[in-house]
Structure 1
Amino acid sequence: MLTADITLSTYFHRGPVDRRLFGSFVEHMGRCVYTGIYEPGHPAADEHGFRADVADLVRELGVTLVRYPGGNFVSGYRWEDGVGPRESRPRTFDLAWRGIEPNEVGTDEFLGWAARGGLTPMMAVNLGTRGIQEAADLVEYCNAPGGTRWSDLRRANGTAEPYRVPLWCLGNEMDGPWQIGHTGAREYGVLAREAGKAMKLVDPGIELVVCGSSHRHMPTFGYWEAEVLEQTYDVADYLSLHAYYLNDGERAGYLGSGAALDAFIGDVIATADAVGARLGRGKRINLSCDEWNVWTRDPYVDLTAREPDVALPLTEHEYTPLDAVVTGDLLVALLNHADRVRIGCLSLLVNVSAPILTEAGGPARKQTIFYPFALAARMARGHSLHTVVAGPEVATVRHGDVPAVAAAATHDEDTGEVALFVTNRSAEPAEIRLRHAGPGTLKIHDAWTLTASGTPVPKPFTRHVAADDGVTVLHLPAESWTALHAQRKD
C-alpha cells in the first residue's frame, strides 16, 4: 500500500469556481442532434420535438453551459440555412462529417432548447468558409432588440426578444489541417480580431473565445497561441484549448491523463501571460477548455467509405469504469486551475463520445463518465482551494513519471461546505493522510468512489477515519476516483 499526504486549508483560495466550468457541447455530428437531443415522434418528445428524457438527464448531469453548433461542423455552416420556416430550409451537404444536414434544428431551435433547460448558450461562428460580415450578422440576429435587418428576421421567425447570447467562439480548431478553411496563426489571428471587433460593435457586452491549439501535440503548439494572441489580445476574453485522451492500451499512461492536462493548462497560461507582459497589457486572458473528454478507441473514421446521410452514427463509445476514473481525474485538473479555466465543455453531450446514449425511438441511458461529472458539478461550490499532495510517483511511457495521487478541493464560505476529489492513479491501494489546516474540524457526511475494475456506478465510500489532530485518514482503492462532501465546523 502506498502512502501520501494531502494538505488543504480553507484560508488559501485559488479563485471562485465558475459554474460555466461544467459545460458541454452539442455539434451537428453523428447522432448528437438528430435522435440525440431532438427526435420528433419519440414517445418522450416535447411540443418542440426535443426529447424530454434526454433533457432530464442533462439536468441530472448538472450541465450549465452548452457550446453550439460545432466543432468542425461550424467551419462549413451557413447559419441562415437553419432559420425560418422548416419547409423552406434546404438540405445541405456537411463538409466536416460528410453527411446530409436537414437543417431541422438551427439557431432558434437550439437557443429555445437551451433556455427551457436553463443552459447558458455558447455560440460559434464560421471563420472557415465565411468571415467578418456573417459573424456580425449572426450576433445581430441573436442579440439585437429589433429595427434592423437580421433582428427583424428573428422577430418575424417568432422570437420577439433577443436571446442575449453572452459567449462566442471565433471559429474552431483553425490550426488543424482537417479543418475546412484551415489557415496559419497570423492569418487566423487577423481574421479573428476583425470579426471580433465587428461582433462587439453589434453587442459590446459579449465575450469572445479565440482558437488555441487543437491538442498539446500539435506541431504549432505554443507558437500558435502566441501569434494568435499578438493579433487578438485586445478583443479576446478567452483562449481555447482542446484535450482528448485515448486509451491506447498503456493503462498507467491512460490513468496519468489528468497530469498531462494539468501540464497542458500550465503551458497555455504561461504563454498567454507572456504575450500580455510583452504587450504591456493589464488585462488577463482566461482559458476556455471547450472540448475535453476520454476516448476508448481511435475516433478516426474513413468518412469517404460510406454514403452521406442524415445522422449517421459516429464515435459512439461504450465507456467503462476505467474511463470514468480518468474522467474524474481530468475534472481534478480543471478544478485546480479554476482561477484561469473559467469555461469547460465535456465533448459531446449525447451519443458522440458522450455521457448520455440514446436509442432512436427508445430509451436514453447514462454512461460511466456521467457519474464523476455529475458529482463534481453538484459538489464543487465556492472557491477552489490550494491543495498540496506529497507522495510517490507512477512511471508511464506516455507522460513520464506522474504523481500517484492527485487532489482538488473547493470551499463554500457561505455554507462551510468543503468538497474534495482524490484520484489514486496507482495499481496499489493508498492510505491518505488528509491534513485540513485552519480552525474547527472537518466532518465528512457524503462520499462516493469509482474504481477502474469495479461497478459502472459510484459506490458509497466509508473508508475514512477522523482523528483529533486535524487529520482524516482515507483508504483509497487502487485505480480509483473518490468524491467527498464535508462540513467545516468551528
Structure 2
Amino acid sequence: MTEKKAKMTIDKQYKVAEVDPRIYGSFVEHLGRAVYEGIYEPGHPEADKAGFRKDVIKLVKELKVPFIRYPGGNFVSGYNWEDGVGPVEKRPTRLDLAWGTTEPNLIGTNEFMDWAKLVGAEVNMAVNLGTRGIDAARNLVEYCNHPSGSYYSDLRKSHGYKEPHNIKTWCLGNEMDGPWQIGHKTAAEYGRLAAETAKVMKWTDPSIELVACGSSGSAIPTFIDWETTVLDHTYEHVEYISLHSYYGNQENDLSNYLAKSLDMDHFIKTVVAVCDYMKAKKRSKKTIHLSYDEWNVWYHSNEQDKEIERWSKAPHLLEDIYNFEDALLVGCMLITMLKHADRVKIACLAQLVNVIAPIMTDKGGEAWCQTIFYPFMHASIYGRGTVLQSVVSSPKYDSKDFTDVPYLESVSVFNEEAEELTVFAVNRATDSSLDLEADMRSFAGYTVKEHIVLEHDDVKGTNQENRNNVVPHSCGDAHVCDGILKSRLPKLSWNVMRLKKS
C-alpha cells in the first residue's frame, strides 16, 4: 500500500460564486410510491389530517430541501393538470402511459403546494409540452399565480385557495429529446413550442423564471445540436437550460464508478460553452444558467422494475436500495456541482421519497434514511455561502473510461457572515488513506469545529436491514497547525471538515 498525499490552497479572496440554495433541490414525481405511500399515506400512524406523513416531513426538513420539482418527469408529458384540482371525489382516474401505472389524482397542484409549505420548500412546476402546449400552460400559470378576477384564478379560489401560490420557477416540459417521452419532438419542434409557450406564460405573469429542456444526458446522440437549436429559439425567453444525469456501477468496477463525476463535470462545461456561444451569436447581454434538475445514481432496480404489473397503483418502481459506494459518488457529484456554482443555480436530486431516493418508507411502518441521505444532508446544511476556488494537488489514477482521476475530490464553501468554512472531500482511493494538507493562512484564527466522516468496510453495505449500518461519525482527525489544515482522510470516505473562527 503506497502512502498518498494531497495538498490544497484555500484563500477567502479566490471566489467562484455564491451558492444558490436551490442547488439543494429535489424532485417528487407521480411515479411509483413517491406520492402515494411516500409523502401521502392516509391512515398511517404518522399521518396528519391531510394524510401527509409527518415522519417523512421531518426527514425532508433534516435535508433542508428548499426547492422541489413537480409533478414530473416523464409523467408530466401526459398529465392534464385540471385532473388534480377541485373536489377529490370528482377527479378522474387516468392511465399514466409514461410508467404504465394508474393515477388516482388524489394529490394534485393545491395539495402538493400545501405539502411543500409544510417542508419549507418552493415548488418548481413543470408544464406539459408533450400532449399539450401553450393554452394549458398559460391557464395553469393563471390558476396558480393570478390573484383574482379571471376565470382560472377564481376557479382556484373556488377550490379553497384564496391567495395565489406565486410559483416563480417553471419547467417547459421534460426530456423532450427522448424517444421514450410522450410527445417526443425534434429540437426545432420543441424550440418553437417552448418559445411560444414561454411568451404567453410570462405575459400571464412577468415575474416567473423558465427552464428550457436540455439534453436528457451527455450520451444522447442529439446532444449539443439539441442545446444549440433549442437556445436559438428560446434564448431571450428563458433563464435556464436543464441537464439530467444518472450513473450506475453495472460493471462492478469501483474505481471507474467513482470517476463518473468527471463525466458530470464535462457535461456542465460543455453546456456552459454552448450557452455562451449562443449568447455571442445573439449578441445578448443575458447569461443562461444551468438547472441540473435530475441527477442521482440509478441502476439497482432496473431488473425488478421489469416485473411490475401494468396499470397497478403506486407500485414499487425505481426503488433503488443504495449502498456505501453510491453515497461516495453522490458526494463527488455534489462537489462537482458546487465547483460550478457560478453557472449551476438549480439542481434537483431525483428523487426525494421511495423512487431513487434518500428517504424510504414502509407502508404502515417507518421512514428511514438511505446511504445517500447523509452526503446530501451535509452539503445542504453546511454548503451555504461562497464557493472558493481551491487549488488542489492530488495523486491521480486511470480507470476504464477516465484518465487523470484525482484521488482527492474537494471543494470549500465560506460562510462569511457566520465566520464558518466547510471543506468537503472524498478520498477515492480503494487501498489507502490520503494525507491532506490545506494551506488556509488567509483564515487566521479558524479552528476545526467538527470533522464528519462517512466510511464503511463494505462498499456494498446498505441501510435496508440495519438502519444504522452506514451512518456518519464525527471522529475525524482534522486540525489546524500554523495556518495549515491537516487530516488523514480514510480510504473510500466522504469528509466534512467544519472550521469556525475562534
TM-score with structure 1 setting the length: 0.97
Deviations 1:14-54 (A, max 9, x none): 11111111111000000000000001111111111111110
Which structure 2 residues correspond to residues 254-293 of structure 1 after superposition, within 5 A?
A: 254-293=257-296
How far does residue 258 in structure 1 lie from its aligned partner after superposition?
A: 2.1
Deviations 1:313-335 (A, max 9, x none): 11211111111111111110011
Deviations 1:92-115 (A, max 9, x none): 000100110000000010011112
**What amino acid does structure 1 have at the position aligned with 2:476?**
T
**Greater displacement, 386-395 / 140-149:** 386-395
- The counterpart of 2:495, out of the listed 462, 482, 486, is 482
State the match for 2:129 in structure 1. 127
Q: C-alpha distance in 2, partners of 1:180/1:93?
A: 13
Q: C-alpha distance in 1, partners of 2:348/2:412?
A: 20
Q: C-alpha distance in 2, partners of 1:361/1:442?
A: 47
Contact 1:324 1:452 in 2 (8 A): no
State the match for 1:464 in structure 2. 478
Verify: 1:440 aligned to 2:454, yes or no. Answer: no
How far does residue 437 in structure 1 lie from its aligned partner after superposition?
A: 3.9
State the match for 1:360 in structure 2. 363
Structure 1 residues 27 and 149: alpha-carbon distance in aligned structure 2, compared to 1, 3 A threshold: same
Deviations 1:237-287 (A, max 9, x none): 011001111122111111112222122111111111111111110100011
- The counterpart of 1:451, out of the listed 433, 452, 455, is 455
How far does residue 298 in structure 1 lie from its aligned partner after superposition?
A: 6.0
Which structure 2 residues correspond to residues 309-458 of structure 1 after superposition, within 5 A?
A: 309-427=312-430, 428-451=432-455, 453=457, 455-458=469-472
State the match for 1:158 in structure 2. 160
**What amino acid does structure 2 have at the position aligned with 1:195?**
T
**Greater displacement, 239-248 / 301-310:** 301-310
Q: C-alpha distance in 2, partners of 1:354/1:439?
A: 37
**Greater displacement, 438-447 / 68-77:** 438-447
Deviations 1:331-350 (A, max 9, x none): 10011111111111111100
| RMSD between aligned residues | 1.4
Contact 1:296 1:319 in 2 (8 A): no
Q: C-alpha distance in 2, partners of 1:157/1:143?
A: 14
Gaps of 5+ in 1: none
How far does residue 116 in structure 1 lie from its aligned partner after superposition?
A: 2.4
Q: C-alpha distance in 1, partners of 2:187/2:402?
A: 27
Contact 2:453 2:476 in 1 (8 A): no
SS of equivalent residue, structure 2 residue 50:
coil
Q: C-alpha distance in 1, partners of 2:261/2:422?
A: 18
**What amino acid does structure 1 have at the position aligned with 2:473?**
K
Deviations 1:140-181 (A, max 9, x none): 000001111111110000000000001000000111111011
Gaps of 5+ in 2: 459-468
Contact 2:319 2:357 in 1 (8 A): yes
SS of equivalent residue, structure 1 residue 486:
strand
**What amino acid does structure 1 have at the position aligned with 2:362?**
E
State the match for 1:138 in structure 2. 140
SS of equivalent residue, structure 2 residue 112:
helix
Structure 1 residues 14 and 187: alpha-carbon distance in aligned structure 2, compared to 1, 3 A threshold: same
**What amino acid does structure 2 have at the position aligned with 1:387?**
S
**Greater displacement, 397-406 / 217-226:** 397-406
Contact 2:28 2:34 in 1 (8 A): yes
Contact 1:322 1:451 in 2 (8 A): no
Q: C-alpha distance in 2, partners of 1:393/1:260?
A: 16
**What amino acid does structure 1 have at the position aligned with 2:365?**
G
Verify: 1:51 aligned to 2:53, yes or no. Answer: yes
**What amino acid does structure 1 have at the position aligned with 2:447?**
K
**What amino acid does structure 1 have at the position aligned with 2:496?**
A
Deviations 1:289-310 (A, max 9, x none): 1111112526366669623111
Q: C-alpha distance in 2, partners of 1:409/1:344?
A: 18
Q: C-alpha distance in 2, partners of 1:423/1:430?
A: 10
- State the 4+ residue runs in structure 1 displaced beyond 4 angstroms: 300-305
State the match for 2:201 in structure 1. 199
Q: C-alpha distance in 1, partners of 2:84/2:123?
A: 17
Deviations 1:116-147 (A, max 9, x none): 22111000000000000000000000000111
Structure 1 residues 432 and 94: alpha-carbon distance in aligned structure 2, compared to 1, 3 A threshold: same
Contact 2:66 2:120 in 1 (8 A): yes
State the match for 2:255 in structure 1. 252
How far does residue 64 in structure 1 lie from its aligned partner after superposition?
A: 0.9
Contact 2:478 2:497 in 1 (8 A): no
Contact 2:228 2:274 in 1 (8 A): yes
Deviations 1:45-95 (A, max 9, x none): 111111111001100111111100000000000000111101100000001
**What amino acid does structure 2 have at the position aligned with 1:451?**
E
Q: C-alpha distance in 1, partners of 2:471/2:226?
A: 40
SS of equivalent residue, structure 1 residue 179:
coil
Q: C-alpha distance in 2, partners of 1:303/1:178?
A: 16
Q: C-alpha distance in 2, partners of 1:304/1:356?
A: 23
Contact 1:422 1:481 in 2 (8 A): yes
**What amino acid does structure 2 have at the position aligned with 1:368?**
T
SS of equivalent residue, structure 2 residue 43:
coil
State the match for 2:465 in structure 1. none
Contact 1:322 1:453 in 2 (8 A): no
How far does residue 399 in structure 1 lie from its aligned partner after superposition?
A: 2.7
SS of equivalent residue, structure 1 residue 66:
strand
Q: Percent identity?
A: 46
Q: C-alpha distance in 1, partners of 2:164/2:95?
A: 30
Which structure 2 residues correspond to residues 56-67 of structure 1 after superposition, within 5 A?
A: 56-67=58-69
Structure 1 residues 271 and 306: alpha-carbon distance in aligned structure 2, compared to 1, 3 A threshold: same
Structure 1 residues 22 and 439: alpha-carbon distance in aligned structure 2, compared to 1, 3 A threshold: closer
Which structure 2 residues correspond to residues 3-152 of structure 1 after superposition, within 5 A?
A: 3-152=5-154
